[in-house]
Amino acid sequence: MAGVSGCIKYSMFIFNFLFWLCGILILALAIWIRVSTDSQEILSSGHAGANPDVAVNILIAVGAVIMVLGFLGCCGAMKESRCMLLLFFIGLLLILLLQVAAGILGATFRSEYDRILNETVYENVKYLSSTEESAKPIQEALQEFQGKFKCCGLVNGAADWGSNFQQFSKSCECPKMPDDSCTNYDGKYVYKQPCISFLKDFIAKNIIIVIGIAFGLAVVEILGLVFSMVLYCQIGNK
């Protein structure tokens, strides 16, 4: 009977150790995106489907599962446990299938997502001129967003702030030497560009990061499936 190839065994161990590290990296990156984005508050009162953090939350879950699978694969390889390797294979295959399904759904409903995002942003404009306590998180989040991206308001520029403009105008204001990107509004030079385009770009960049990670991960997962099945068969033939 053929024995277990030491090369395959240790390759499987190294692969799964790297896979486990990938899980940590994905988890850390997803958490960083999750806690650092101002878009969460800006979009939080609208349609849940428009919130980019939904994808990030899924990525957090995937990262955690990958860490568990990586550990399982390492143990299965070193202990030559067919049970662990089979569990690893099934778990990895399920993740890969879910990624493919998510990618297909994402591509299919791209236009729908854009529509929901637009509706959410336009709906949330009303919170900028509101004096209610519930509107403050969105107002504060947009203030930070304005200062970071040098824009003002969500859709219609400074006018979106309504009677709250003077209170929240500081992050909208241009430098002492305003240029073509600025305009005079209510006695102050503020940025002309509304934040909706920057918000969309910001979300798109986060989505690109998620897609890039998912694509790279899919390649690694396919290699993991091959390694685990080869080792599984070799252990069975001992």
* The predicted structure's pLDDT at residue 83: 87
- Domain membership flag for residue 123: no
- Residue 147 shares a structural domain with residue 37: no
Residue 4 has pLDDT above 50, yes or no: yes
Considering its fold, how many domains does the chain have in total?
2
- Domain membership flag for residue 33: yes
- Residue 44 shares a structural domain with residue 155: no
- Residue 193 shares a structural domain with residue 213: no
* The predicted structure's pLDDT at residue 42: 57
Each residue's pLDDT tens digit, 52-92: 556 667 778 878 888 888 888 888 888 888 888 888 899 88
Each residue's pLDDT tens digit, 196-235: 888 888 777 777 777 777 788 788 888 888 888 888 888 8
- Residue 15 shares a structural domain with residue 109: yes
- Residue 189 shares a structural domain with residue 208: no
- Domain membership flag for residue 63: yes
d(CA 161, CA 126): 8
Which residues make Cβ contacts (< 8 Å) with residue 4, sequence separation at least 6? Answer: 80, 231, 234, 235, 238
- Residue 188 shares a structural domain with residue 212: no
- Residue 13 shares a structural domain with residue 96: yes
The parent domain of residue 210 ranges over: 6-114+203-236
- Residue 85 shares a structural domain with residue 146: no
Sign of CA dihedral 46, 50, 56, 58: positive
- Residue 104 shares a structural domain with residue 207: yes
- Domain membership flag for residue 124: no
184 SS3 class: strand
- Residue 87 shares a structural domain with residue 143: no
Q: What is the CA radius of gyration of the chain?
A: 24
Residue 161 pLDDT grade (very low, low, confident, very high; cuts 50, 70, 90): very high
- Residue 42 shares a structural domain with residue 108: yes
Q: What are residue 3's phi and psi, to 5 degrees?
A: -90, 180
Exposure string over 120-156, b if 16+ CB within 10 A, otherwise e: bbeebbebbbeeeeebeebbebbbebbeebbbbbbee
Residue 193 has pLDDT above 80, yes or no: yes
pTM reported for the whole predicted model: 0.61
Sign of CA dihedral 225, 228, 233, 236: negative
